[in-house]
Amino acid sequence: MQIPTPEQVETMMIEKMGSLPQSLNSAKAIDPRFLIEQAMSSKFSIQDEANPFEPKTSMMIALATSLTLGAQECISQQTKMLKKMGITKEELAYLVRIVKHAQGSAVIGNAQAAFDTFES
């Protein structure tokens, strides 16, 4: 497999997202190879031919993860790409509801040690 140059990756990202995310601009200024690493990570996950999920579902999973992590720039870019893929307001609302539920459930799970310690 031929590894693209940082310039080729930047061009592909701009075509796909409309602009290079600021975090990648900053990373590129330190070491342009970060662009290649980011592209290869995407190639072997979201864009992998063996990925059993359709592209929209894969991007929805990525958005859910970004929402959980609070990655604002990723949230913005992924939402833009999902709009191009045809996500509806209803789908976005349910995605947020599911993430909100999972986060709330995780808090209860994480609180088990506190609950158990209090009761002992």
Segment 10-17 mean pLDDT: 90
Distance CA 58, CA 54 (A): 6
Predicted pLDDT of residue 16: 86
The first and second tokens of residue 89, run together, are 């307001």
- Which amino acid belongs to residue 100? K
Q: Among candidates 72, 84, 82, 58, which has minimal Cα distance to 21?
A: 72
Share of the chain above pLDDT 90, in %: 85
Distance CA 23, CA 69 (A): 15
Q: Is 20 helix (H, G, I), strand (E, B) or coil?
A: coil
Segment 26-46 mean pLDDT: 93
